[in-house]
Amino acid sequence: MTKSKDQVKVMVIACERSVNLDKELSGAHGRDLNGVSNAYVVRVPCSGMIQPRMIESAFNSGADGVIAMGCQIGDCHFREGNKFCRERLLGLRPPVIKKSVPKNRLKGFWMSEVQVKEFKQRVEDFKTEVAEELSKEAAKA
């Protein structure tokens, strides 16, 4: 199924210590990212807490793309959370992400508290990438 960039839905599972989204969320459930359409955010204490199943569940709930976000690699409040999360996204650390998960529409963002603007820009760019990816997948099918 192809979608335009604007139709693409993105789920961001974010560490609450990375990009500061305290004032950036609104909507009925307080999970819509301000200024970026169809982008939703769920925050966890550390990106190291993100289980592969959480990512699967985001795709199963209708996300076209999923972003796992932690602090900049090298800096983690809990020392190794973002490193482990990244290794998991790359399939280098158990538990592994199921094969059925579309890896090309899954991305890790490693950004600090102060990078709000940059974050939003990157989500926009990601939506474009996901739209392209979807049309590639449709062409293959």
Contacts to other proteins by CB under 8 A: 9, 11, 13, 29, 31-32, 40-42, 44-46, 48-54, 57-58, 61-63, 72-75, 77-81, 84-85, 88, 94-95, 112-115
- For the bound state, the minimum distance from the C-beta of residue 59 to other proteins, rounded and expressed in Å, comes to 10
- For the bound state, the minimum distance from the C-beta of residue 23 to other proteins, rounded and expressed in Å, comes to 14
- The residue among 88 and 107 lying less far from other proteins, judged by its C-beta, is 88
- For the bound state, the minimum distance from the C-beta of residue 1 to other proteins, rounded and expressed in Å, comes to 16
Alpha carbon distances (Å) from 10 to 17, 75, 127, 135, 141: 20, 25, 7, 16, 22
- The residue among 87 and 137 lying less far from other proteins, judged by its C-beta, is 87
- The residue among 61 and 128 lying less far from other proteins, judged by its C-beta, is 61
